[in-house]
Amino acid sequence: MADNILEMKEITKLYPGVRALDNVNLAVERGEIHAIVGENGAGKSTLMNVLSGTIPIGEYDGTILYEGHKCHFKTVRDSEKLGIVIIHQELALIPELSIGENMFLRNERMGKFGIDWDETFCQAAKHLKQVGLKDSPTTLIKDIGTGKQQLVEIAKALSKNVKLLILDEPTSSLNSEDSKMLLDMLIEFKKQGMTSIIISHKLSEVAYVADKITVMRDGATIETIENADRSIDEDRIIRGMVGREMTDRFPKRERKIGSDVGMEVSDWCVNHPVYTEKRVVNHVAFNVRKGEIVGFSGLQGAGRTELARSIFGKSYGTAITGTLKVAGREVKLKNERDAIEAGIAYVTEDRKVNGLVLGDSVARNNTLARLEKVCQRGIIDVNMENKVAEEYKEKLRIKTPTIQQFVNNLSGGNQQKVLLSKWMFADPDVLILDEPTRGIDVGAKYEIYCIMNDLVAQGKSVVMISSELTELLGMCDRIYVMNEGEMVAEMGANDATQEKIMGAILKSKKGAKEESKGA
Amino acid sequence: MNASAIVKKYTMMIALVVVFIFFAILTGGRLLYAQNISNLLLQNAYVLVMACGMLLCILTGGNVDLSVGATLCLVAALAAQLLSKTALGAFATIGICMAVSFGIGAWQGFWIGHMHIPPFIATLAGMFLFRGLGRVLLASKTVSIANKTFLDIFSSYITVPGVDNTIYWSALIVGIAVALALILLTFVSRSKKARKGYEMKSAIAEYTQIAVIDLLIIAYTWQLAHYKGIPVMLLWILLVVLLYAFITSKTAFGRYFYAVGGNEKATKLSGIDTKKVYFWAYCSMSILAGFSGLLVASRIGSVSGDTGLTYELDTIGACFIGGASAYGGSGTVSGIIVGAILLGVINQGMSIFGLDNNWQYVVKGTVLLIAVIFDVVSNHKTGKA
């Protein structure tokens, strides 16, 4: 019999009106990396919350066996005592405190007189070394990037003597380099005997790292697939997740690219808003034609979002120079309002922080960017507003009980659709979509792609910024590659490959490094 | 809608009714005397008026304006001095006072909206600043107001010759007219909705609601008729309340306050000028504080350096009791009006009962805490938090 470190049996969790988990069974063998995949709302996070004690015993049915013993976790603390540590997708670190302070928060190293800081930072440094982080433990969290913060979370888990590490979407905000590093570290820990559970939407990563893959759908475990030889086919996983064969991950589209240019940017320079000396976008030029989807590839920090936001009514940066032409005419945009009126929409990469009013209804979010369209002399016609929202709900197939539902009650994919509908309602000619499919499941992704195809079919221009090369290659007509604030390559969809894009990035980097060596 | 949902939705209404009955019994029915009913709203006119402005400030993110009591004092002092020391008439005085209120509002709005000074600090500074200026203006004396036109504009009662004698029938007639108008309006809006096929509440629910409101209006005006008729101040209060109710619920401008409080970054990226939203929240607040200064000055008939002391706290309390979210983004004018009246009933009930002034603070504090706890707990249970 297999040596299972964890067995969850017949776990059922009811929320008012929803069966979030329905007789779920999960067995995790000691020393393996076990992946859990499923669409948003399939119950993955709920299951992990049950395991970690975030959902206390009594609020769910079923039994948890850990190391052969029955568990009764009332709080997260109870599970941590036994070495079960969960790292949530949204990191729980306090930006104004140092790495060391964060690592031992609520677990302080006490000396005779209060906290023993020497011991704290010494211990912290030890665990940081284990995760390969060279920063000093006294560095503030806000001064290191997201990738490193993720590593600090893992180091924090190590400091708690973790035996079973649970990672919820650990790579969703990391670039591919950092992701790879993180996954390799998990494999390294596995060799040292640690067991991990990883929840991820990125199937390529799951296939790369996991020994077993459990697929969840609609609150139930569908199947557990063996992946000992790392040979699993992604389509095989998708089939389990969506319950049907996904013949094509990208919808087909008739390419009808117009000859008119929708938007043209030339000689565009932007400086950092705080460190005003620093160039973040350096003499960039690009264009997008009507009916065309243009992709922007690059590593995190390449300046793509900065470029997009500076175009969108100077909502980012200082000392912005260059010319911007919309439909052939030069425009000067002072603020976001001007940009919307000029026919530009910027759909943010961070729907929760920059995109939606979460504590407000679907209908009211839908109209916010162009409220005057449902107004007469400044007075809102609520009936018309609701009608508009109903139309978009139908058109984009937004899954919500009513349009009066608060947006924070929707799943990530549906929130993304609300965000898209908001900007489609603003009726732009050029849409800049920044990571439009980040953190959403395969089914919703496909639907977002379909919406993009509809938009270009109507003659609109779409700019897609994405860190997923496959989706850029699958959707775009042309791809621009940016690195360190500069445009380093432009290629047609037919010539572009993952290798070429990565090559363009790496070559430019190498060039930059050699230059600095020479200087 | 089931019973618990109804209770949740109308918690404060129910609390108001319970508290009202409680004090009616406690005071041996004296709370229900015509004079006391009439004074209930007038006594709290400043809370009702300023709570409307405070709601906008709170909507933008739980920020409050601490300077309103001081602004009220400064403008009231200015009015008293202009009326007693200069030859300017009542209308010119009111005009100057409102212009000064706007000036104060623009001052605060500029620092908060355009210079990003935290509202708490900017208005705390304003609280000292305007209180001090008000006292300087009064030269530390109490100045009384004798100008009859000024007093009439804010604190007289409407009498119609021929109709009103011992009983002021005009009040009751207006009450019945308003009640009928409400029924008619409901009917018209329902038939319009039905014609366009929009969703609407069930007829029974909606007409029951209207019937209850109508009964209250008629009962209220009945009592007014037995005192001195319709107070002019009531009309001023209604004007402000209806205006703010309209702005917050029906206009795009009003919607922006909710959006900024809900998510400022997203609102800004939606092309809305968030600086302007902050500016107008604090500007309108000061205008209403100044206007309340005129109401208070006229009702009391004199102004001193302590006029309006702690009024900001009553106003803020009314908003939070009335269900405005301390995190911004939610709250309605109707809610805060219920909150203000609830505070008013407690104030007046305790005064009539003769409870010691110090204990009144204890009761008010307790009520505020219970209201907010209830709000947080009930929202937490429904998972809206």
CATH number at residue A496: 3.40.50.300
Beta strands in B93-142 (DSSP E): none
Same domain, A155 and A168: no
| pLDDT above 80 for B111 | yes
* Contact: B267, A375; criterion CB under 8 Å: no
**Least-confidence region, from A172-176, B28-32, B118-122:** A172-176
Given CB atoms, is B268 within the 8 Å cutoff of chain A? Answer: yes
Same domain, A272 and A126: no
**In A, which residues are within 8 Å of B196 by CB distance?**
383
Comparing CB atoms, the residue among B198, B255, B268 nearest residue A371 is: B255
- A256 part of a folded domain: no
Shortest CA distance from B253: residue in chain A: A378
Q: Among A310, A334, A360, A361, pick the best mutation site for testing chain B contact (most B Cβ within 10 A).
A: A360
* Contact: A360, B329; criterion CB under 8 Å: yes
Same domain, A401 and A265: yes
Measure A407 CA to nearest chain B CA, in Å: 11
Same domain, B191 and B246: no
* Contact: B273, A335; criterion CB under 8 Å: yes
Shortest CA distance from A422: residue in chain B: B270
If you ran DSSP here, which 8-state letter would residue A91 be given? Answer: -
pLDDT category, B57, cuts 50, 70, 90?
very high
* Contact: A383, B262; criterion CB under 8 Å: no
Measure B262 CA to nearest chain A CA, in Å: 5
- B17 part of a folded domain: no
Q: Pick out chain A residues at pLDDT < 70.
A: 1, 16-18, 40-41, 244-247, 509-519
* Long-range contacts of residues A205-211, Cβ cutoff 8 Å, at least 24 apart: A205/A171, A205/A179, A206/A35, A206/A37, A206/A237, A207/A232, A207/A234, A207/A237, A208/A183, A209/A33, A209/A35, A209/A183, A210/A33, A210/A34, A210/A35, A211/A29, A211/A32, A211/A33, A211/A34
| pLDDT above 60 for B362 | yes
* Contact: A354, B265; criterion CB under 8 Å: yes
Same domain, A344 and A225: no
Asked casually if ipTM beats, i.e. exceeds, 0.90, the reply is no
Comparing CB atoms, the residue among B250, B262, B263 nearest residue A380 is: B250
Domain count, chain A: 3
* Contact: B255, A378; criterion CB under 8 Å: no
Rounded Cα gap, residues A462 and B219, in angstroms? 62
Given CB atoms, is B257 within the 8 Å cutoff of chain A? Answer: no
Last residue of a domain, one of B193, B213, B228: B228
| pLDDT above 60 for B105 | yes
* Contact: B271, A372; criterion CB under 8 Å: no
What is the pLDDT averaged over residues B119-145? 95
Same domain, B34 and B174: no
* Contact: B272, A379; criterion CB under 8 Å: no
Given CB atoms, is B195 within the 8 Å cutoff of chain A? Answer: no
Comparing CB atoms, the residue among A355, A368, A382 nearest residue B259 is: A368
- B9 part of a folded domain: no
What is the pLDDT averaged over residues B146-153? 94
Domain count, chain B: 2
Same domain, B145 and B277: yes
**In B, which residues are within 8 Å of A355 by CB distance?**
266, 269
Measure B119 CA to nearest chain A CA, in Å: 22
Last residue of a domain, one of A219, A244, A269: A244
* Contact: B198, A383; criterion CB under 8 Å: yes
Last residue of a domain, one of A109, A127, A160: A160
Same domain, B123 and B82: yes
Q: Which of residues 153-192 of B touch A (CB under 8 A)?
A: none
- B52 part of a folded domain: yes
The token duo for A443 is 């089914």
| pLDDT above 80 for B359 | yes
Q: What is the pLDDT of residues A446-490, one digit of tens each?
A: 899 999 999 999 999 999 999 888 889 899 999 999 988 999 999
Domain that holds residue A101: 92-160
Instruction: State if pTM tops 0.90.
Output: no
Q: What is the pLDDT of residues B233-274, one digit of tens each?
A: 999 999 999 999 999 999 999 999 999 999 999 999 999 999
Comparing CB atoms, the residue among B196, B198, B271 nearest residue A336 is: B271
Same domain, A270 and A388: yes
Same domain, B40 and B70: yes
Same domain, B128 and B214: no
- B309 part of a folded domain: yes
Residue linked to tokens 């101040």: B233
pLDDT category, B383, cuts 50, 70, 90?
very low
Q: Among B247, B248, B263, B380, pick the best mutation site for testing chain A contact (most A Cβ within 10 A).
A: B263
Comparing CB atoms, the residue among B193, B252, B265 nearest residue A375 is: B252
Same domain, B173 and B283: no
- A255 part of a folded domain: no
Spatial contact of A480 and A490, defined as CB atoms under 8 Å apart? yes
**In B, which residues are within 8 Å of A405 by CB distance?**
none
State the amino acid at position A35 in one-letter form: A
Same domain, A309 and A424: yes
Helix axes B357-381, B11-26, angle to 10 degrees: 150
- A443 part of a folded domain: yes
Measure A377 CA to nearest chain B CA, in Å: 9
| A323: number of Cβ within 10 Å | 13
- A251 part of a folded domain: no
- A428 part of a folded domain: yes
Last residue of a domain, one of A100, A126, A160: A160
Domain that holds residue B325: 28-159+232-381
Cα A424 from chain centre:
22
* Contact: A348, B269; criterion CB under 8 Å: yes
**In B, which residues are within 8 Å of A379 by CB distance?**
250-252
CA-based max dimension of chain B: 65
Rounded Cα gap, residues A9 and A23, in angstroms? 7
Instruction: Please count the residues of chain A.
Output: 519
Given CB atoms, is B208 within the 8 Å cutoff of chain A? Answer: no
Same domain, B223 and B236: no
Q: How far apart are the first and last CA of chain A?
A: 63
Last residue of a domain, one of B228, B244, B265: B228
Shortest CA distance from B328: residue in chain A: A359
Same domain, B204 and B300: no
Residue linked to tokens 């969506």: A242
- A253 part of a folded domain: no
Comparing CB atoms, the residue among B193, B198, B271 nearest residue A340 is: B271
What is the pLDDT, as a whole number, of residue B379? 63
Rounded Cα gap, residues A231 and A210, in angstroms? 11
* Long-range contacts of residues A507-511, Cβ cutoff 8 Å, at least 24 apart: A508/A483, A508/A484, A509/A483, A509/A484
Last residue of a domain, one of B228, B255, B272: B228
Same domain, B69 and B96: yes
Q: What is the pLDDT of residues B156-196, one digit of tens each?
A: 999 888 888 888 999 999 999 999 999 999 999 888 888 87
Q: Among A55, A371, A408, A425, pick the best mutation site for testing chain B contact (most B Cβ within 10 A).
A: A371
Q: Among B264, B270, B277, B280, pick the best mutation site for testing chain A contact (most A Cβ within 10 A).
A: B270
Measure A484 CA to nearest chain B CA, in Å: 25
* Contact: A380, B251; criterion CB under 8 Å: yes
- B212 part of a folded domain: yes
Spatial contact of A426 and A370, defined as CB atoms under 8 Å apart? yes
- Phi and psi angles of residue A84, each rounded to the nearest 5 degrees, phi first: -100, 120
The token duo for A301 is 């920090």
Measure A392 CA to nearest chain B CA, in Å: 17
**In B, which residues are within 8 Å of A415 by CB distance?**
none
Same domain, B341 and B247: yes
- B273 part of a folded domain: yes
- Phi and psi angles of residue B252, each rounded to the nearest 5 degrees, phi first: -65, -40
Shortest CA distance from B381: residue in chain A: A16
| A27: number of Cβ within 10 Å | 17
- B150 part of a folded domain: yes
Same domain, B259 and B340: yes
* Contact: B268, A336; criterion CB under 8 Å: yes
H-run or E-run covering A268? strand A261-271
The token duo for A230 is 């790392």
What is the pLDDT, as a whole number, of residue A511? 47
**In A, which residues are within 8 Å of B265 by CB distance?**
353-354
**In A, which residues are within 8 Å of B269 by CB distance?**
312, 315, 336, 346, 348, 354-355
Rounded Cα gap, residues B101 and B295, in angstroms? 14
* Contact: A383, B270; criterion CB under 8 Å: no
Same domain, A423 and A353: yes
Rounded Cα gap, residues A211 and A263, in angstroms? 47
Shortest CA distance from B199: residue in chain A: A383
What is the pLDDT, as a whole number, of residue A517? 43
Residue B168 in 3-state DSSP? strand
Q: Which of residues 325-344 of B touch A (CB under 8 A)?
A: 329-330
* Contact: B262, A378; criterion CB under 8 Å: no
Helix axes B311-321, B333-353, angle to 10 degrees: 120
Given CB atoms, is B253 within the 8 Å cutoff of chain A? Answer: yes
Comparing CB atoms, the residue among B198, B250, B270 nearest residue A368 is: B270
| pLDDT above 80 for B290 | yes
Comparing CB atoms, the residue among B199, B253, B266 nearest residue A355 is: B266
What is the pLDDT, as a whole number, of residue A519? 37
- B344 part of a folded domain: yes
**In B, which residues are within 8 Å of A378 by CB distance?**
251-253
Q: What is the pLDDT of residues B71-100, one digit of tens each?
A: 999 999 999 999 999 999 999 999 999 999
